[in-house]
Structure 1
Amino acid sequence: MRLSRPLAALCTIAPLVLAASACSDSSGGLIRGTNGPHFSQTIANPPQIEGACHRFARRGLSNVTNTTGIDIVLHTGMNCDNPGGASSAYLGTTISIGTIPGQGPWHSFTTVGQAPPVPVN
C-alpha cells in the first residue's frame, strides 16, 4: 500500500513533536506558601531555567512548601539576592520551611538541578 506524501510526512513528524513536548523545562509540581493566616500563594510548574529568578508576591512568604520534582533555593531579596547578609535556604522536593528567626520573609527563589523526565504527582 502506498501512502500519500502529506500522510507520510505527518507520520514522520508527529512522533518527533510528541517527544519534544514531553521533554519540557518545567519542574512539574507546585510551590505553595503563606504569610499569615489570610495570605497564600501557589506557583504551578515553575520553569527550570538556569540562573532564572522567580519572584513571590511583594509581601513575601513566611512558610514555603516545595512539591515539585526539583530543589529550590529561597532568597529574602526580590532579585534572588539576600540583602543585609541574610541567609538563603535550600529547599528539597516535598519539604517545607518557615522563615529563619530574625530574618524577613522569602521574596524569590531559584531552581537547582535538572527537571525530572515525567511530572511528579
Structure 2
Amino acid sequence: MRLSRPLAALCAIAPLLLTTTACSDSSAGLVTGINDDAAVSQSIADPVQGKCSRFASRGVTSVINNTGVDIVLHRSRDCSDPAHQHGTYLGTMLSIVATSGQGPWRSFTTVGWPPPVPPN
C-alpha cells in the first residue's frame, strides 16, 4: 500500500514535534543575581531541578530568571526561610528587585516538573 506524500511527511514530522514538546520544560538558561551594594553579579547556568542553588555569601538584591522553569528565592543559604515567612516566587523569564528592608536572597530552588532528561 502506497502512502501519499503529505501523509508520509506528516508521519515523519510528528515524532519530531512530540519530542520537541516533551523537552520544553527545562531548567536550561541563566539565573542572574545582582547585589549593587556589594558590587556582586553572579550567574548560575542550568540550575539542577529540585536542588538548592546558592548565590554569593552576601546574597543578591535583584534576580533575573532566564530559564524555562519558575524559581523560589530564599533568605538562607540552605533554601529555607525564617519562621512565618515564605520564599519569593519568580516566574520564568521575569526579574525582581528587593524592596528596602527586605534583605538579600541567598539561594533558590526550581519549581515545576523535572526535565525529561537530566542536564549534562
- Shared fold (TM-score greater than 0.5)? yes
Q: TM-score range by the shorter chain?
A: 0.5 to 0.7
Cα deviation for residue 26 of structure 1 reads 5.7
Match of 1:78 in 2: 77
Match of 2:15 in 1: none
Equivalent position SS for 1:42: strand
Which one has the bigger strand percentage?
2
> C-alpha offsets along residues 32-61 of structure 1, whole Å, 9 cap, x if unaligned?
111016210000011113xx2111110100
TM-score by length of 1: 0.67
Structure 1: state its 5+ residue gaps.
1-18
Change (3 A) 1:81 1:108: same
Structure 2: state its 5+ residue gaps.
1-18
**Number of residue equivalences:** 94
Equivalent position SS for 1:67: strand
Change (3 A) 1:100 1:115: farther
TM-score by length of 2: 0.67
After superposing on structure 2, the runs of 4+ consecutive aligned residues of structure 1 that deviate more than 6 Å are none
> C-alpha offsets along residues 10-36 of structure 1, whole Å, 9 cap, x if unaligned?
xxxxxxxxx9xxx7x961100011101
Equivalent position SS for 1:40: strand
- Percent identical: 54
| Cα RMSD (Å) | 2.6
Match of 1:64 in 2: 63
Match of 2:109 in 1: 110
Aligned equivalents of 2:27, 2:71: Cα separation in 1: 10
Give the conservation status (yes or no) of the 8 Å contact 1:65–1:97.
Answer: yes
